[in-house]
């Protein structure tokens, strides 16, 4: 320390001091005047060194204020140790601080207690130059005492709050930081560590958005000094997601010079029970009387205009000692000792009052006065305002509060006696200024020992990091810390330190509350393990689970079961939105999500899309959950596709049963195929009935979409017969369900006819009864692959459809057989009549036949004679002159009479007459055949086209003047039939068409078209005309005997019934009538190529 002037006593004066003296001598008067007029005490010390270290100081200069403040008058030239030795109870701290500045040169400022005067000084020490120290002191005794009183008041307030169970908050309005007590955290369900950041915005986030607006209005009014404080009821979200009703009170504690709030204190009271009771009464008015009478709290209803008691419950009767009837006869003035309820019941202001609270004194029947808390609410009954009062006896509570107020003088002891460890720490040095008994117990040192220690000796962090933490506490950037503190026995504990900066006598300290969280952290660690367990339950649960953002529909998470079910990985799910899997429109899905704003749980049915494109019906059990202060939707999803298909299966069954009486077999099959298509998402559907030979298709039906959009091929014959059919027929040949999901690659598939839709996928299901396949149902072109679920569904529908249709076919066949039997009975009667008529016609017909034969014989003889005469005349025409002239006359007569033509015409007449007689005989034979039910076994092979030509020739007289004939006679195989009977049918139908056209009295000819064709089993013949047609109402009767549409005496009504008998009964064929929309009539009959084959349908139409 060569730069210092060292001395061992007061005799040596450093050169620096001499320089300073010289400097002072020049403006001495000014300098002295400044010192003497200072309010602060001023001392100029010279440092005394020993071995290069400062050991004492000498008073070189003092001002008058110093002597007044300390009472020390003669100090100039005296050492500090000497002066302080004469002061009773003086502390060595003052000398230590002086020597510390002398050695380090670093200024210090500290509070110094001067026991001789009983005063506190604010002492600032600095080094003006090498070897000198200056001390400036100010009396801060009043301020020190005020701060001490404030601390005591705060401690008393804290004790009162803790005893009342009310949550408190301390809001630094400038920084937004808020300090909450433990009760506040208990009310909202959070731990103090979970609530971060601890500021006003985090607190506002818990308040219901609707209430937050009103709360801010109340705050603005209070901040602008419109109210002395504020009291507000609002909803606050608990950690578990529920909304609590709380009563919040607050008041500005300090303001700046401009009146702006700096610090605000408030309380929070859980009033959920009261609010729930009020809501229940409003929502359940119908139960009000029961709740009112049975409610344990005292309730009365008042007329605000008169004070009369309108009603009172049983609890009121029990409390006051009067019966409810007696109370209804009383006035509130007889009960309210202070008349507060009466004075405030102003009818003009009472409307809209909600939950106003008063403390009153009520008189009971025995005269006893009780303190009561009255909650008042205005209610409307029949357009009249009343006051609903809920009254609580608070006598005991008020007495308790009174006792608490009386104990305010003891609040200082709360710091020492508080169970929480508390420390007051010097922010500059880290020295522990004060500690309560709880801190001593926790750390293991006495309070006195702690008072001599530094926080760095307790905190296990390096001193520099402890200093940084205190700096953060000083700047209010942090007021909550997690440290590890060392106890006296060396044990290290985890602690949470809640610190706030306080100022005492213009010096800053850190007021810290220490909580031992060692056990808590161990519990949290266990909770983390538990959270991992529950996370595992979510991820590994077999049920499909999703977590969604209710604002956007974004998928926040999905478990492994969801990934397996939908086919996307969990990572892919987290990039998706619920609209990506919901088959409904995005607008509908997002609008549905918006409903969560007012709901907490829901049950929804939906159709979800999977990664492979398949659609599944799902039911969703959803609940809104809170995770770290945010709301999410937690979905548990069940696949109900099978259940929905069973429901659809039942609906289809009911629908088919209902329609079976009105729809044909083809229409029922089409309705079934439409349902199968819709449920499986297919676009092609077909069904075939299979004959007993397992090779022949008896009936083919197609879905509506197949016919209208997918396939332009006519339904009849759209599929090949089974013996040459392609891959779809494997279902029949192999008696199993077949699925072809890559149809184009199948090797044994057959080509499609022109106009048939392209087949990409197909599913074909056989219906098996006994040992035979009776039908097949097929679908195709689903946009994704068919699977076993589709196969089982189609099989179930096909089986039940077959059962219903089989029953319908049996019932239709039964009706047909009944009709056929009825028709046969009628035909039998007609046959008997026709047999009689034929017998009667046959007798005169025999005479006609005999006479015609005789006439032919006579005419042959006459012709022989005539020819002889002619030969004779030609030989002897010159016999005699007179004879010659006579012969000449005869020759002229022959020429005039055209005797040769006449002879030839007579021969033709005889031929036509014989043909007509033969025809009449055949008709008579046909009438006789009506009396026989079965056709003759002998049916030679005949040419139907030849019969058509012959019949047209025979009927020419009927149609030649009214209709033109158009024929389309395709090449036909020979048909086993009785050709005369078939010709009779053709004749009846052609004549009927001609008569129908004649009935229209046309100016031009109509048209009769005859078309013949054949397939593998039958020969077809249709006779169509463009006449007036047959009304729909009588078509079912036209084959009945004696039924005719012709005018009287124009027809017998037997032609079509005979034709029916010939075709159906004698040839096992069919005959049908159709009247197209454009007009006219078409009769079509069929004849089987195999005479032993039965036709299931009596009437069928040509496609």
- Domain of residue 550 covers 541-639
Both 661 and 773 in a single domain?
Answer: yes
Both 118 and 62 in a single domain?
Answer: yes
**What is each CA distance from 911 to 356, 852, 859, 906, 967, in whole angstroms?**
129, 10, 13, 9, 29
Cα–Cα distance measured from residue 234 to residue 243, given in angstroms and rounded to the nearest whole number: 9
Task: State the pLDDT at residue 20.
Answer: 44
Both 756 and 718 in a single domain?
Answer: yes
Both 21 and 132 in a single domain?
Answer: yes
Q: Which of 576, 604, 639 is the last residue of a domain?
A: 639
Residue 4 lies in a domain: no
Both 500 and 582 in a single domain?
Answer: no
Task: State the pLDDT at residue 1099.
Answer: 38
Cα–Cα distance measured from residue 1013 to residue 945, given in angstroms and rounded to the nearest whole number: 10
pLDDT digits (tens, 9 = 90+) for 721-755: 676 677 788 878 888 888 888 887 887 776 666 66
Residues present in the chain in total: 1103
How many distinct structural domains can be found in the chain? 7
Cα–Cα distance measured from residue 741 to residue 526, given in angstroms and rounded to the nearest whole number: 54
Phi, psi dihedral angles at 319 (to 5 degrees): -75, -45
Both 973 and 1017 in a single domain?
Answer: yes
Name every residue whose Cβ is closer than 8 Å to that of residue 1002 and which is 6 or more positions away in sequence: 962
Residue 325 lies in a domain: yes
Both 622 and 691 in a single domain?
Answer: no
Phi, psi dihedral angles at 88 (to 5 degrees): -65, 135
Task: For the chain, list residues with pLDDT below 50.
Answer: 1-26, 345, 347-349, 714-718, 933-936, 1048-1049, 1094-1103
Q: Which of 487, 521, 555 is the last residue of a domain?
A: 521
Kindly state the DSSP code that residue 1003 receives in the 8-state scheme.
S
Both 625 and 711 in a single domain?
Answer: no
Residue 869 lies in a domain: no
Report the DSSP beta bridge partners of residue 654.
Answer: none
Residue 162 lies in a domain: yes
pLDDT digits (tens, 9 = 90+) for 1011-1060: 999 998 899 999 999 998 888 878 777 887 666 666 544 555 677 888 88
Report the DSSP beta bridge partners of residue 1084.
Answer: 1022, 1072
Both 100 and 177 in a single domain?
Answer: no
Domain harbouring 650, CATH code: 3.30.450.40
Kindly state the DSSP code that residue 1061 receives in the 8-state scheme.
I
Q: Which of 521, 552, 579 is the last residue of a domain?
A: 521
CB-based contact 383:365 (threshold 8 Å)? no
Both 696 and 575 in a single domain?
Answer: no
Residue 1 lies in a domain: no
Domain harbouring 516, CATH code: 3.30.450.20
Residue 921 lies in a domain: no
Task: State the pLDDT at residue 1097.
Answer: 43
Both 226 and 242 in a single domain?
Answer: yes
Residue 148 lies in a domain: no
pLDDT digits (tens, 9 = 90+) for 210-224: 999 999 999 899 888
Q: Is the pTM of this model over 0.75?
A: no
Residue 197: cis peptide before it, omega within 30 degrees of 0? yes
Residue 152 lies in a domain: no
Other beta carbons less than 10 A from residue 918's beta carbon: 11
Both 330 and 265 in a single domain?
Answer: no
């Amino acid at each position: 320390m060569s730069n210092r002037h060292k001395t061992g006593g007061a005799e040596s004066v450093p050169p620096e001091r001499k320089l300073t003296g010289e400097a002072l001598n020049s403006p001495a008067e000014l300098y002295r005047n400044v010192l003497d007029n200072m309010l602060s005490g001023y001392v100029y010390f010279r440092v005394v060194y020993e071995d290069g270290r400062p050991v004492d100081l000498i008073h070189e200069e003092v001002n008058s204020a110093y002597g007044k403040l300390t009472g020390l008058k003669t100090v100039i030239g005296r050492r500090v140790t000497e002066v302080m030795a004469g002061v009773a109870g003086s502390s060595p701290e003052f000398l230590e601080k002086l020597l510390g500045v002398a050695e380090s040169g670093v200024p210090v400022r500290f509070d110094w207690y001067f026991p001789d005067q009983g005063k506190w000084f604010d002492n600032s020490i600095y080094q003006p130059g090498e070897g000198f120290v200056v001390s400036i002191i100010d009396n801060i005794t009043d301020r020190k005492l005020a701060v001490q009183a404030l601390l005591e008041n705060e401690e008393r307030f804290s004790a009162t709050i803790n005893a009342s169970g009310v949550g408190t908050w301390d809001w630094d309005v400038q920084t937004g930081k808020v300090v909450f007590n433990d009760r506040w955290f208990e009310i909202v369900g959070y731990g103090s560590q979970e609530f971060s950041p601890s500021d006003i915005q985090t607190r506002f986030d818990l308040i219901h958005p609707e209430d937050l607006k009103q709360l801010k209005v109340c705050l603005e009014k209070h901040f602008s000094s419109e109210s002395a404080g504020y009291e507000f009821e609002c909803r606050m979200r608990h950690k578990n997601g529920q909304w609590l009703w709380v009563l919040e009170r607050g008041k500005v504690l300090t303001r700046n010079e401009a009146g702006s709030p700096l610090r605000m204190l408030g309380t929070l009271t859980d009033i959920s029970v009261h609010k729930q009771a009020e809501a229940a009464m409003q929502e359940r008015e119908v139960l009000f009387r029961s709740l009112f009478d049975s409610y344990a709290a005292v309730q009365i209803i008042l007329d605000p205009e008169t004070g009369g008691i309108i009603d009172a419950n049983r609890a009121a009767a029990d409390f006051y000692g009067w019966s409810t009837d007696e109370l209804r006869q009383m006035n509130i003035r007889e009960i309210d000792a202070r008349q507060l309820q009466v004075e405030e019941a102003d009818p003009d202001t009472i409307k809209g009052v909600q939950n106003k609270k008063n403390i009153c004194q009520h008189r009971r029947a025995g005269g006893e006065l009780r303190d009561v808390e009255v909650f008042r609410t205005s209610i409307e009954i029949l357009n009249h305002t009343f006051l609903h009062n809920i009254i609580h006896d608070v006598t005991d509570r008020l007495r308790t509060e009174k006792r608490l107020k009386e104990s305010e003088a003891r609040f200082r002891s709360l710091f020492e006696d508080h169970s929480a460890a508390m420390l007051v720490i010097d922010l500059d040095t880290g020295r522990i200024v004060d500690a309560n008994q709880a801190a001593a117990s926790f750390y293991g040192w006495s309070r006195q020992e702690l008072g001599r220690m530094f926080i760095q000796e307790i905190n296990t962090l390096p001193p520099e990091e402890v200093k940084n933490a205190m700096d953060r506490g000083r700047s209010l950037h942090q007021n909550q810390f997690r440290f590890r503190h060392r106890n006296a026995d060396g044990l290290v504990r985890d602690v949470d330190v809640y610190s706030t900066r306080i100022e005492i006598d213009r010096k800053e300290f850190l007021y810290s509350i220490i909580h031992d969280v060692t056990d808590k952290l161990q519990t949290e660690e266990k909770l983390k393990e538990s959270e991992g367990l529950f996370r595992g339950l979510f991820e590994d649960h077999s049920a499909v689970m999703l977590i969604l953002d209710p604002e956007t529909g974004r998928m926040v998470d999905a478990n492994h079961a969801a990934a397996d079910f939908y086919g996307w990985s969990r990572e892919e799910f987290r990039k998706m939105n619920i609209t990506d899997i919901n088959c409904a429109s995005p607008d509908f899905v997002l609008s549905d999500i918006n409903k969560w704003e007012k709901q907490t749980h829901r049950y929804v049915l939906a159709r979800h899309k999977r990664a492979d494109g398949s659609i599944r019906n799902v039911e969703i059990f959803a609940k809104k959950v809170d995770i770290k202060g945010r709301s999410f939707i937690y979905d548990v999803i069940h696949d109900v596709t099978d259940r929905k298909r069973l429901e659809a299966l039942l609906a289809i069954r009911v629908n088919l049963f209902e329609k079976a009486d009105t729809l044909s077999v083809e229409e029922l099959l089409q309705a079934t195929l439409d349902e199968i298509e819709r449920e499986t998402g297919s676009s092609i559907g077909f069904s075939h009935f299979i004959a007993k030979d397992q090779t022949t298709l008896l009936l083919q039906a197609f879905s509506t979409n197949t016919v209208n959009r997918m396939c332009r091929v006519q339904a009849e014959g759209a599929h090949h017969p089974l013996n040459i059919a392609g891959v779809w027929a494997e279902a029949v040949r192999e008696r199993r369900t077949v699925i072809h999901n890559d149809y184009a690659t199948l090797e044994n598939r057959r080509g499609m006819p022109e106009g048939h839709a392209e087949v990409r996928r197909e599913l074909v299901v056989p219906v098996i009864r006994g040992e035979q396949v009776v039908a097949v149902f097929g679908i195709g072109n689903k946009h994704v692959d068919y699977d076993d679920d589709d196969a089982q569904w189609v099989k179930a529908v096909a089986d039940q459809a077959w059962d219903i249709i089989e029953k319908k076919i049996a019932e239709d066949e039964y009706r047909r057989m009944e009709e056929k039997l009825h028709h046969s009975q009628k035909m039998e009667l007609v046959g008997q009549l026709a047999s009689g008529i034929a017998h009667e016609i046959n007798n005169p017909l025999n005479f006609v036949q005999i006479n015609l034969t005789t006439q032919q014989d006579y005419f042959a003889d006459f012709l022989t004679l005539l020819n002889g005469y002619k030969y004779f005349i030609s030989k002897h025409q010159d016999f005699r002159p007179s004879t010659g002239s006579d012969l000449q006359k005869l020759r002229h007569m022959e020429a005039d009479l055209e005797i040769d033509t006449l002879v030839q015409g007579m021969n033709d007449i005889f031929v036509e007459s014989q043909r007509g007689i033969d025809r009449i005989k055949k008709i008579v034979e046909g009438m006789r055949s009506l009396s026989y039910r079965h056709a003759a076994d002998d049916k030679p092979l005949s040419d139907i086209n030849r019969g058509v030509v012959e019949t047209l020739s025979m009927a020419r007289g009927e149609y030649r003047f009214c209709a033109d004939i158009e024929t389309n006679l395709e090449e036909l195989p020979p048909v086993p039939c009785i050709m005369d009977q078939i010709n009779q049918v053709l004749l009846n139908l052609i004549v009927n068409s001609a008569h129908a056209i004649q009935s229209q009295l046309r100016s031009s000819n109509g048209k009769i078209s005859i078309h013949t064709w054949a397939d593998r089993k039958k020969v077809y013949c249709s006779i169509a005309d463009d006449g007036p047609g047959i009304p729909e109402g009588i078509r079912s009767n036209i084959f009945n005997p004696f039924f005719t549409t012709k005018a009287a005496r124009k027809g017998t009504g037997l032609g079509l019934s005979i034709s029916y008998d010939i075709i159906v009964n004698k040839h096992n064929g069919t005959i049908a009538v159709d009247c197209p929309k454009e007009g006219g009539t078409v009769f079509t009959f069929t004849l089987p190529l195999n005479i032993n084959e039965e036709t299931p349908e009596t009437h069928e139409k040509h496609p």
